[in-house]
Amino acid sequence: MANKIEIKYNGESFELPVMTGSENESAIDIGKLRSMTGLVTLDYGYKNTGSTTSEITFLDGEKGILRYRGYPIEQLAEKADFLEVAYLLIYGELPTKEEYEKWTRDITHHTLIHEDFRTIFEGFPSNAHPMGVLSSLVTSLTAFYPKSLDPERSMGELNMSIVRLIAKLPTMAAWAYKNELGFPLNYPDNAMSYVDNFLYMMFALPVEKYKVNPVISRALNKLLILHADHEQNCSASTVRLVGSSHASLYVSISAGINALWGPLHGGANQAVIEMLEEIIEDGGDIDKYIKKAKDKNDPFRLMGFGHRVYKNFDPRARIIKQSADEVLSALGVEDPVLEVAKKIEKIALEDEYFIQRKLYPNVDFYSGIIYRALGIPTEMFTVMFALGRLPGWIAQWLENRKNGEPIGRPRQIYTGVNERDYIPLENR
Ligand code: ACO
């Protein structure tokens, strides 16, 4: 394969290096393009731009492949524990038995959050969206752990920030939910596993005994693993970009949470359920909504369909679809929303518009249905995604710093008004 590319511009010829990754993906390295030719590249939404080299996650959107640090997502979702996968993403290898025990012990011992957080919770209106609450609370961690503001201070301090984030995010998420309901907050129970403890904090009430259902616990563990990383997506790129200014880990993660919130990204899981409910309330006319999705004059999109990089079935959607069937039958839940979802999927997969554009169901199409069956309320869906994505964001942030990448600062092509003189107010 050629390792150089020649470009011709204004009668001159220039050579740019072509680099190839470990899975034979190739890229033109345009680092010197502007100094050689005066040109920059223009790529709205970075559809064609690699922003970094990365050793964390490999995905091939054409073939529907996803691997974390080389391990296929199917194997991890089937066999691993979420904290094991978190360790793998962050530190590069699966933990040994001793490393795993220390890692889970460290995380278990940092699940409590400072009592002053209760005062912060009280300051939020009870109808505050939990994603907004979560991102604010993660930023607030800087006030409680000011040493975290200088991540270069020591590896020990940085590791503490990582452990605290993974340990405390479920507590914050569950408290944000309880606050919204106006219910008493549950303190973490360190005798429980990571996932069970989260379920306990979410659902236990002081008035009755709460027992974690293992079907729910297993399904949630799988969902968290499936969401744990997805290379340079919108929120991971946000985390890297914010971190590239040498902003601390906590504030970079908080920015990632906000990026995830949008309905075109992680917010899609909430939007999918809202869309399916709307279709049912509107009489269940699926064809009408398929037509709307295809109409260029209608802003409606089929939520949970399409992906920037998957032009084939999203491998996570395959696993989740199967899991949705298993969970619903194990819990004895009959959900009309699942029936509508299956019908939409079938129609869309046979429709020329979707076939031509390679629009397949993505991870969010079925995840919301499982969350509903698990009893998780709709406005918490994107929070669940954030809990899963946290180790990926941390790994991406660390890699950016480890690579010593420069501050992220894209160029632009200015298309505004040319120079003109200021007009005093009285003359305008
Ligand atoms: N419904 C109807 N048409 C769609 C959809 C959809 N869900 N998604 C894409 N299209 C069409 C576009 O209108 C466009 O058609 P055109 O070529 O005739 O103009 C074509 O498919 C390509 O779409 P783009 O928007 O250019 O693709 P892009 O890569 O920018 O967007 C995205 C990807 C944002 C995911 C998009 O498919 C979408 O909005 N999907 C719905 C929201 C969603 O499910 N988001 C979750 C993504 S997964 C995640 O973040 C975890």
Give the 3-state secondary structure of residue 5: strand
Contact between residue 25 and residue 198 where contact means Cβ atoms under 8 Å apart: no
Question: Tens of pLDDT along 321-358?
Answer: 888 888 888 888 888 888 898 899 899 889 999 999 99
Q: In Å, what is the CA distance from 266 to each residue of 72, 124, 231?
A: 22, 23, 14
Edge-to-edge strand order for the sheet containing 26-28? 4-9, 12-20, 26-28
Q: Helices marked H in 245-335 — which ranges?
A: 249-261, 268-281, 286-294, 315-331
Indicate whether residue 359 lines ligand 1 (CB < 6 A). Answer: yes
Indicate whether residue 305 lines ligand 1 (CB < 6 A). Answer: yes
Domains of the chain: 4-50 (2.20.28), 71-219+251-259 (1.10.580.10)
Question: Tens of pLDDT along 291-301?
Answer: 999 999 999 99
Q: In Å, what is the CA distance from 269 to each residue of 198, 241, 284, 304, 367?
A: 20, 25, 20, 7, 7
- State yes or no: pLDDT of 267 exceeds 70: yes
- What is the spatial distance between Cα 386 and Cα 168, in angstroms, rounded to a whole number? 13
Say how many Å lie between the CA of residue 307 and the centre of ligand 1.
Answer: 6
- What is the spatial distance between Cα 97 and Cα 142, in angstroms, rounded to a whole number? 32
Question: Tens of pLDDT along 361-386?
Answer: 888 888 888 888 888 888 899 999 99
Question: Tens of pLDDT along 102-128?
Answer: 999 999 999 999 999 989 988 998 889
Among candidate residues 196, 229, 314, 364, the one labeled active-site is 364
Say how many Å lie between the CA of residue 45 and the centre of ligand 1.
Answer: 12
Q: In Å, what is the CA distance from 5 to each residue of 14, 29, 106?
A: 8, 9, 50
- What is the spatial distance between Cα 315 and Cα 66, in angstroms, rounded to a whole number? 7
Quote the percentage of the chain above a pLDDT of 90: 76
Average pLDDT over residues 75-93: 97
- Of 92-101, 156-165, 189-198, 327-336, where does mean pLDDT reach its minimum? 327-336
DSSP state of 149: G
* Amino acid identity, position 376: I
What pLDDT is recorded for position 1? Answer: 66
Ligand 1 atom with least separation from CA of 365: 44
- State yes or no: pLDDT of 180 exceeds 90: no
What pLDDT is recorded for position 268? Answer: 86
* Amino acid identity, position 411: R
- What is the pLDDT confidence band of residue 154, given thresholds at 50, 70 and 90? confident
Tell me how many degrees the CA angle 70-73-78 measures, rounded to the nearest 5: 125
Whether 129 sits among the annotated catalytic residues: the reply is no
Pick from 357, 362, 382, 389 the residue to mutate for probing ligand 1's pocket: most ligand atoms within 8 Å of its CB: 357
Using CB atoms within 10 Å of the CB of residue 388, give its burial: 0 to 12 exposed, 13 to 18 middle, 19+ buried.
Answer: buried
Say how many Å lie between the CA of residue 306 and the centre of ligand 1.
Answer: 5
Indicate whether residue 388 lines ligand 1 (CB < 6 A). Answer: no
Indicate whether residue 256 lines ligand 1 (CB < 6 A). Answer: no
- What is the pLDDT confidence band of residue 198, given thresholds at 50, 70 and 90? very high
Say how many Å lie between the CA of residue 255 and the centre of ligand 1.
Answer: 23
φ/ψ (deg, to 5) at 209? -75, 135
What pLDDT is recorded for position 255? Answer: 98
Say how many Å lie between the CA of residue 282 and the centre of ligand 1.
Answer: 24
Among candidate residues 110, 265, 307, 314, the one labeled active-site is 307
What pLDDT is recorded for position 328? Answer: 86
Whether 364 sits among the annotated catalytic residues: the reply is yes
Contact between residue 312 and residue 64 where contact means Cβ atoms under 8 Å apart: yes
